[in-house]
A and B are shown apart, each in its own frame.
Chain A
Amino acid sequence: MSFLSTVFLKRGDSGEKVVAELCDAIEPVDIIDWATHWLPARDQCLNILQAANAPPEAYPQSAHWNWMDKTRSMQGLLALQGLSIRCEGRTQGLMRIDLASEQCQLESQRSQPMVYVDYIEIAPWNWIGPYFNPPRFRWAGQILLRAAVEISLDQAFKGRIGLHSLPQASSFYRRCGLTDCGPDPNYPRNLPYFEATPEQAMAFLNQGGSK
């Protein structure tokens, strides 16, 4: 059975705080939302970019992700966990984490256990960019990343988290205070690798905003 906790998102236009639900699972309702609402909204965004002759770097780099496959592949596995955030009857963000397969790479905590963030994505109507309308909600990404830190604490990993970032998202993880370890030569497309120490994780949890 999944567990829900109350969190707050911020409305993109008015700045008003809105009650949302953080769920410690990705449930069928989230996959239905992804298929019936995220995909058409994503296509709409891609059409806007195409019509505006936007440069390739303006295209969301996670646009091809298939959450149905990502969720199916973790069924029954203890090492993998999904999380979702819902607000006003829609899934606003999704994340998949791995509790066992990856170990820390930073010298100060090499080989220590951590929560590895496999995938994290927000709904297309929450995307930020010069070609899009103001996001419907902000903070979904931060809340999910905070949840990864909380799970790391709960698992006695002391808040350590790690992830490979899409280049577009690197500035977000730097703002969250994670160490930018640079391009990882052992990872497909040499994606940059980010990692948080226990101190960085605590500082991130204590940041303002979505807390």
Chain B
Amino acid sequence: MLTKKTMTLNLTDAEMQVLEDLCAKKDLSKTAVLRQALRLYQLVDVRLEKGDKLVVENDTTKEKAELMMLS
């Protein structure tokens, strides 16, 4: 089994509200939401470092927009 470590996370009210909203929307605990966020952030960061671009596409209109990631 993987050993797990504990940390204290300090969030503003607004940040905590977003986290709680995501928990409700995705039916996940706060830990699970943050794990997902970390996985996705790493995935995107690795692709951007390779020179890829992050583009979002509207499924209906097929309109594309490039997202700028600020490090």
Contacts and interface: CB of A to CB of B under 8 A. Distances in A.
Tell me the interface secondary structure of chain B in the complex: helix
A111 B39 CA distance: 17
Given A3-B1, A77-B46, A156 B29 contact: yes
B32 A78 contact: no
B16 interface: no
Contacts of A113: 26, 28, 32, 36
A158 B27 contact: yes
B55 to A, nearest CB: 14
Bin chain B's interface residue count. Answer: 10 to 19
B21 to A, nearest CB: 13
Interface in B10-55: 25-29, 32, 35-36, 38-40, 42-43, 46
A79 B1 contact: no
Contacts of A79: 39-40, 42-43
Interface string A173-209: 0000000000000100000000000000000000000
Contacts of A186: 59
Nearest to A156: B32
Given A3-B1, A112-B27, A113-B26, A100 B32 contact: no
Contact of B40 (A101, A111, A155, A157): A101
A155 B32 contact: yes
Contacts of B38: 78
A10 B39 CA distance: 36
A99 interface: yes
A101 B43 contact: yes
Pick from B1, B29, B32, B43 the residue with the most CB of A within 10 Å: B43
B3 to A, nearest CB: 10
Contacts of B25: 111
A113 B37 CA distance: 12
Contacts of A101: 40, 43
Nearest to A99: B39
Nearest to B27: A112
A186 B57 CA distance: 12
Contact of B26 (A3, A77, A99, A112): A112
22 contacts: A3-B1, A3-B2, A77-B39, A77-B46, A78-B35, A78-B42, A79-B39, A79-B40, A79-B43, A99-B39, A100-B39, A100-B43, A101-B40, A111-B26, A112-B26, A112-B27, A113-B26, A113-B28, A155-B32, A156-B29, A157-B28, A186-B59
Interface of B: 1-2, 25-29, 32, 35-36, 38-40, 42-43, 46, 59
